[in-house]
A and B are shown apart, each in its own frame.
Chain A
Amino acid sequence: MSNEIAIQPGISGHEVHEHHEAHHHHETFITKYIFSQDHKMIAKQFLITGMIWAIIGGLMSVLFRLQLGYPDLQMPWLEDIFGHWAKDGKITPEFYYALVTMHGTILVFFVLTAGLSGTFANFLIPFQVGARDMASPFINMLSYWFFFAASVILMSSLFVQTGPAAGGWTVYPPLSALGDASQGSKVGMDLWLVSLALFVVSSLLGGLNYVSTILNMRTKGMTMTRLPLTIWGLLFTAMLGILSFPVLLSGFILLLFDRHLGTSFYLSDIVLNGTKILPNEGGSPILYQHLFWFLGHPEVYIIILPTMGIVSEVMSVNVRKPIFGYTAMIASLFAIALLSFLVWAHHMFVTGMNPFLGSVFVLLTLLIAVPSAIKVFNWLTTLWRGNIRFTPAMLFCIGFVSMFISGGLTGIWLGNSTLDLHLHDTYFNIAHFHLVMGVAAFMGMFAGVYHWFPKMYGRYMNNTLGYIHFWVTLICAYVIFWPMHYEGFAGMPRRYFDYMGWESFKQFAELNKVISFAAILSFLVQLSFVFNFFYSIFKGRKVTTTNPWGATTLEWTTPIRPGHGNWPGEIPEVHRWPYDYGKDGREFIMQTEPVGKDESSH
């Protein structure tokens, strides 16, 4: 295995053809950049595919925010691009539903699950536990290619005549089960289901590897309690995925049966469009909701746990202090992971659930506030009197904590079934989950990208653009989502195409314009991040030292541009935990340094 291979920029599967020349090493172009089994390359493939999806998903939100903010505006250029989807320069209702559905699907699954876990689990696990690669590099490669196939199918559904799936990202039956019920339940829905089935396979294959690498491939001396918190976060994430995604798949299989084999798992007593009486009997759409949310709730933790780990690690490095409450951090991650399986029905309080059962789920839901509060407390105390270096990565960590608090507090409101009766399916809910798992997860992801970019490409990202990116994103996020709480209080429901028909919502016309303006601005500033990312791959300031941030973990003991196998010689041995900052008068002590005779143990 060659360790001196310079990592060539441009690893995305989409731009491979331009770089075909100029390689003089024994890995062929195809095994190095396309069907690569190197965890670092697979991580970059996930990251760049995720970024492409994020741009598409973000652009969709811009389009439907145009409709929501400026319902009377006619933009003929929309018709030029989207044809009959935007007749007379206005988005049609069908197109609007397709947009919100695909925005949710893309962001939740393709960006914040695959793009996030796929990137950081692949990149950090072998590095930080001290392994040459994943337990099974081949399965790891398959994981990316299943994701890629899922991406291609979902992308193709955007181009079919009847449009992509359009029943909301949760695709509840009966709407999603009946092709005659709406445009978005025709072939687009089938493509959606097939794509998501492949996605589940991808995330299972990936998850198996992450868990077995962490548990079996740790280097000498790397006990579980010497693992960085990133690894703990990723471990629980992978476990959640392994246990919950198969249940989602079983729900999808039954839905496919209902769509194509005329079964009645989810269907009963339906009159379609007021005329056609369907023969289906004995099914229950609530069954789908149970199967869906049994995944759906762990899914939101699949999104947030990796970023919790990333934020803990990046924050500790940049305040030059040990993370506060390392054991409490692990325990609270565990508690969140465990509770996530016991709260799914809080998404279903208004489905006619037995109120006693509802109260059990209220209790379990509110219990999650305890470990979440422990984590927030620990982050704040880590910041307390720290010697903070305000790098872009660090700012995004602080932004993450801010978002997590603002969005998390409203979770306590929504977790109460009595309040949920009023707030359910309103903009209050939109504001809650966008802050706590949308923007917060993005902030954690950005923190990770800015922090580990030097390890990925041997160059730094531009700081000035990073600061602009952070501040505009933070301000826009609050301008977009804070007012939505008020709209939700007033009962404004989500997913509506046009609110101007209701006297009570007309008061929000100007507010909606502000929100739309901020949404468009925040989309544009994300493009500056994309520019910064690709520009820095080629032209960024070069990294000259193996440990540019003065961190303690193992990835910074590898060469600046590590080859396949990560370490040229032996894998280093680990002697201490990863948070020895500011100890015994030294700024930081690497994990590889043996504990001195007269050194106090942590």
Chain B
Amino acid sequence: MSASAAIASTGGVRTNEARTAPAVDVADLRVAFGKVQVVDGVDLALERGQALALIGESGSGKSVTLRALLRLFPEGRSRIEGRIHVAGRDVQALTRRQLADFRGRDVSMIFQEPLLAFDPVYTVGRQITEAILRHERVSKEDARRRALALFERVRIPSPERRLDNYPHEMSGGMRQRAMIALALACRPQVLLADEPTTALDATVQIQVLLLLRELQRDLGLTIVLVTHDLGAAVEVADRIAVMYAGKIVETGTARQVVLDPHHPYTIGLLRSRAEGALAKGARLQTIPGSPPDLAARPPGCPFAPRCFLAEHRCHGEMPPAREIAPGHRVACWHADEASVAYRVGPTPVRAAEPASPGPPGRPSEQGV
């Protein structure tokens, strides 16, 4: 396995890496829980100040990939292999103590459901000052002042009073802002966001996304955003990586991936968005089938059983990632056909059907 080689080669070689290296540099990341390989060879590279969105459906391994950047798993129950360099540190090489110092200071995280991510019996302000006091030698008063400034920064109204609120006394949007304030408390370089808008109302979602975008620009933050919402990804991210069954199947700039998708799964995601399909009488397109069982992974491309372009080779051989344009990589044997199929027209899937093995109309188009 190349993972061990990758670890070995990065030991002491790159000493001045902290300054020049990318903020996130992950190579051949593999995460397994017991016998289940949840993340299966992921490569990620992200420059400082950039935002990357990891998108995919539930169980695609995107949240696990995100947590691997902090090694945020129960000890002994997971196996993480591969190279993980974040904010200039080799995360795999950190001791327990170093890891605790690293978390929240260099890299911090915001969560899907802020009501559950705050301890219910402490005030929000106290939980922010706790993080500051954990990482820095400052007085309680200074920590409190910092927390207040953070609340102002994320635009929480009447911040002084809100610091003394308990999590359940805030609205969902305000809680997520408070969560962001907490994450920024120790001025981290990298912010990891695990579906930060999924639990929020649609009107609040956009506010939180805009706030993230603004903070990224103002503070030079590097953001890794996990989401299943393409709209959210486009709003915040410079780059998008599409994950399926623990692998990245397509990655590129946000424009490349959304406007010029080359992987049938990306195309499926784009087509299954409600926005494009809500003309009266139109059917919402879906991707047929469901993701594979990761414990019994078939050989070949994991998407092949659901793909409208799949043929014999797809079922037997995993396609390697191929660069089709600068920075745009796709892992598909039929990337060009898929791209053509997407561009042809409103129902390009039909036009592409001669290439697909299934009977006409069945494999890719299914009413809800």
| Co-assembled chains A and B | no
Residues of chain B having any CB pair with chain A under 8 Å: none
